Chain A
Amino acid sequence: MKSPNDYDHFAPEWCPGCGNFDILVALKQALYDLKIESNELILVTGIGQASKIGFTIKCNLFDGLHGRALPAALGIRLANHTAKVVSISGDGCFFAEGGNHFIHTMRRNADITVLAGVNRVFGLTKGQAAPTSAHDYKTKIHLDGTGAEPLNVCRLALVAGATFIARGFSGEQTQLTELIKQALTHRGAAVIDIKSPCVSFNKINTYAWFKQRVQPLGEDHDVTDWNAAMRAAEETEERIPTGVIYRVERPVFGDHLRALQDGPIARRTTDFTPERVRPFFAQFK
C-alpha cells in the first residue's frame, strides 16, 4: 500500500455529512499506518449503514446476517486464528439483534476488533429508535418516547469482559485513527464505541450535540482500573469522555484450545485424512 486510498473499493453511498465517512477515513489510515495488507484482513459486518463500511475497503469481507456478525467472526477465528478480524456495524446490529452475541464475544475475549458506529437511531430503516436512544426519544413508533434507558455500550463491554474499551467521535479524526490503531494491535476483544451522528434521522444527537459534549479523558485516568473505567463509561449525556477507557491483558479465546496449537485448522484441513478417525475405534471394542 502506497497510501490509505489504496484500500478503496466500492464508493460509499451514505448521506452527505454521515459520520460513517469519517469512520472510513480513520479506519483506512489506521490500516495503512499498521501496514495491514488487504489479504491479511477479514472484515465481518452485519446489516445497517455502519456495516456498509465493509464494501468500501478492499479486503476479505464476510457480510453476514443482521446481528450475527460476531458469531461468524468467532467461527473465522476458530478456523484461522492468524487472521486479523475486524467487525463493523451499528447499534441495532450489535446491541439489539445481536446483544447476546456481543455479551458472549466479550466474555470470551475473542481476538476481534469491534467498531460500533453509535448514532442512537436506525438509519437504514428510516428513523426508528436504537437501543442507545434516549428515554424520551420520540419516533413514529415511540410517540411517547422509548420508555427505556439507553444502553451504555462501554459499560456493557466492561461488565461482559472486553479487554480493550475506547470511546471515540467521528468528528475527532486524529483521535479516532489513534484509537482504531490501538484496538487493532490489542490482543483480545477490543471495542470502540464510535459516536457518529446520523444527519438524516437523528435531529437531537447531532454533530453539534456531540461536539459540545466530547472531552478527552485526562492523563490521570488509569486504564487498568476497572472502577475508574466504569465511572468514565457512565457519562454519556452531559459530558462524553473519549479515549481509551479500559485496557488489560487476559488470555484470548482459543489460547486454551489444544486443537489450535498446531496451526490454523483451515490450513491443516488437507492433513485431516479419513485415517484420523481410526484411533477412536478402540474405545468401542
Chain B
Amino acid sequence: MAHLNIVLAGAAGQGVQSAAQILGKTLQRLGYHVYTTQDYQSRVRGGHNFMRIRFSDRPLLAAVKPIDYLLALNEESLDIHLPLLTADGLALCMDEDRGDTVDARLRALSEDIGPTAAKGAKFVGVKLLSMLMTAIGFSPEVLKESVKSQFGKRLKPEVLQANLDAIEAVARSMNAADIHSLPFAPAQTDEHLFVTGNECIAMGMIAAGVGVYAGYPMTPSTSILNFLAGAGPRAGIAVEQVEDEIAALNLAVGAAYAGARAAAGSSGAGMCLMSEAIGLAGITETPVVIVDAQRSGPAVGMATRTEQSDLLFMCHASQGEFARAVLAPALHEDGFYLAAEAFNLADRWQTPVILMDDMAYADAIRTVDEFDPTQVTIDRGAIAPEPNDVTVLRRFEPTESGVSPRAFPVLSKWLVAVDSHEHDEVGHLTDNIENRNRQHAKRLRKLAGLVAEMPGPEIVGDADGTLLLCWGSTAGPLLEGAQRLRDKGHKVGVAIFRYLYPMNVEKIAAALSPAKRLLTVEGNELGQLGRLLRMETGIAVHGHIAKTDGRIFTVDDIVELIEPRLGGER
C-alpha cells in the first residue's frame, strides 16, 4: 500500500507529542488517512519516546516498521531508529544532535538557520517538521497555517511569529535534491475524525446516554476518564475520580440502581479491585458497563506498555456464577458503536457488561469516518409500569428469560430493594433451598438469552485456508498483514472476535469450519482466546502466536511471525 511512515523521536519533555500532533492534524486536514501510535515511558522527563505517523490515500489500520522519514530530537534517537530507515529515506536532526553519526541519508540543520528568536530546544520540533513538509513537497504555508490554527491562541504573538519565520527559513534552506512530491494524492472523502481508540469508546458512551462515570487514574484508561470529565458539564455526565477502583464500581452500581446509565473504568490492576463489585452487579441484576483498558501485567507490570492478557480474568472475575457479557472493539469505529451497544446489552439483560480494549488500541490515533449517532439505538430493557400507589416491587420475579422488570427508586412509586445476599422475589435475603434454586436458575437463564444474541466472529479474507483468530488491537495489523500474505500467495483469512463472552457455539462453528488451520494471534503468551474457545465451544486451535514484550504488533511483526508458520502451503 502506498504510504509514508514518519517517526518522531526524543526524550520525554522535548515536544515529541506536540510535533506529532501538529503533523497528524495537518495531514488529516489535507485529506489523508493517518494512523499514529505512541511509544512512551512512565516518566515526565528524559527517557526515550517516539511516535509513528503513517499516512496514505487509503484507510490505514496499523503501524509499520520501515521508516521513510526520521525526525530525531536528540542524538540517541538517531542511534535507535536509523537501522529501520529505508534506503531512500531521510533522517532529519539539528546539527548539534548528529554526534559522530555518518550516514548519507542524514540531513542536519544548522542552528543558524531561522531568526535568532527561534533558537533553542523549544523550536527544534517545528524546524524538523518544516524540513519534513518541504521534503515531501508541501509549501511552507501549509505548516504555517497549521501552527497558526493549532497553536495561534496559545502562543505569545512574538513566539508564534518566530515559529512562522523559522518554518519559512528552514523550508528555503532545503536542498532541491531532497524535495520530492508525494506518490499519492489526498483521499477524496468526507471529513474524517482523528481520534484515539479510547476517545471512540468515550464518545460511544456519550451517545448511549451515560450519566455517571467513575474511575481512578491508571494508564491506559485515564483518557476515558479525562474525556468524559471534559464532556460532563455540557452533556450532563457526573464524573467522579474516586478514592479507589473498589469505590468506582460500587459507585457505578449504585448510580445504575438509581436509574442512570452508569459505567466505571480502569486497567487490569483496577479490575482486580473491582472484581467483588462485578459480582454485586451480577446478583443485584444491575446493568453496568465496565471498561478494562488492558496493559502489561501482572500487578503493576509495565505501566505504559500494551498487552491482551486480561481476557480469561474478565470472563471469570468475581466468585459465584452469574451472567455477564465481554466485548472488545477491534477497529477504532467499533469502539463507538460497541460501547453504545454495551449499555443496551447491560440494560436488556440486567447484568454487568465488560468492554475491553488495550493500550495499543486506546492510544492509537486514527482517521475514521464521522460516527453516525442515528445508528445508535437506546434500549433500556424491561421497566415495570408505574403503580397507582406506593408498592413493593417484585424486582426478582422469576421469568422465562430470567429478566424481571425493574424500576427506579424515588423516581417512581415502586419500592425497590436489591441485595448482595441471595434474596427472594422482593429482594429480601434468604437461604431457603427452593428460593436459591429458583433465583440462581433465573439469573443464569439470562446467559442463554445472551448467547443467542451474541454474533460470531467476522471473517475477512480466505475462510478456507489458515484462519488467524484475534480480538482487540491485534485485528488492525492482522488485517493488513494477512493482505500482504495473500499478495505473496498464501491462503489466509482473519477471524475478528468482538463478542468474546458468552460464546455462541453454532455461529462460531459455522464461521470457523471452512478453515484448514486455526491460529490465534494475541498479545498474551497462553493463547487465552484459544483456551476460551475450547472451553466454551470445544473447538481447538492448532497454534498460537504471541507477543508479550509490551510493544504493539506492527504489520511487519505479523508477517514475520506468521509466514514461517504457514508451512509452505501456497
Contact = CB atoms under 8 A, between A and B. Distances in A.
A138 B461 CA distance: 71
Interface in A94-138: 100-101, 103-104
A258 B255 CA distance: 17
B352 to A, nearest CB: 14
Interface in B388-425: 390, 392, 408-421
Interface string A258-285: 1110101111110011111111110011
Contacts of B235: 259, 272, 276-277, 280
A79 B255 contact: yes
Interface in B251-269: 251-262
B208 A71 contact: no
Interface of B: 191-195, 199, 203-204, 206-212, 214, 231-240, 242-244, 246-248, 250-262, 276-277, 280, 284, 340, 370-371, 373-374, 376-378, 380, 390, 392, 408-421, 427-429
A75 B253 contact: yes
A149 B377 CA distance: 56
Closest 5 CB pairs of A and B: A75-B254, A266-B259, A72-B254, A272-B209, A60-B409
B418 A62 contact: yes
B340 A274 contact: yes
A164 B52 CA distance: 55
A173 interface: no
A44 interface: yes
A44 B419 CA distance: 10
A74 interface: yes
Contacts of A61: 416-419, 427
A275 B340 CA distance: 12
Interface in A59-75: 59-65, 68, 71-75
Given A63-B420, A276-B209, A71 B411 contact: no
Interface residues of A, number: 58
Contacts of A28: none
Contacts of B238: 78-79, 254, 257, 259-260, 265
Nearest to A82: B410
Interface string A170-186: 00000000000000000
Nearest to A59: B415
Contacts of A84: 410
Given A277-B203, A280-B203, A284-B195, A78 B212 contact: yes
B276 A72 contact: no
A60 B415 contact: yes
Given A39-B415, A75-B254, 18 more contacts: A10-B428, A44-B254, A63-B417, A65-B420, A68-B277, A72-B253, A74-B251, A75-B212, A79-B262, A265-B237, A269-B211, A269-B260, A274-B340, A280-B203, A280-B206, A281-B370, A284-B194, A285-B193
Nearest to B390: A39
A80 interface: yes
Contact of B236 (A74, A268, A285): A268
Contacts of B377: 274
Contacts of B408: 80, 266
Given A259-B236, A281-B193, A284-B193, A269 B209 contact: yes
A198 interface: no
B232 A80 contact: no
A65 B279 CA distance: 10
- Residue picked from B203, B210, B259, B374, most chain A C-beta under 10 Å: B259
A80 B251 contact: no
Contacts of B211: 79, 265-266, 268-269, 272
B250 A277 contact: no
Contact of A272 (B192, B236, B248): B236
- Residue picked from A39, A275, A278, most chain B C-beta under 10 Å: A39
- Residue picked from A42, A44, A104, most chain B C-beta under 10 Å: A42
B280 A79 contact: no
Contacts of B374: 274
24 contacts: A39-B409, A62-B417, A63-B420, A64-B280, A71-B248, A75-B214, A78-B212, A78-B240, A79-B211, A79-B238, A79-B254, A79-B257, A80-B410, A80-B411, A100-B247, A257-B238, A258-B233, A264-B411, A265-B211, A265-B212, A269-B209, A269-B259, A272-B211, A272-B236
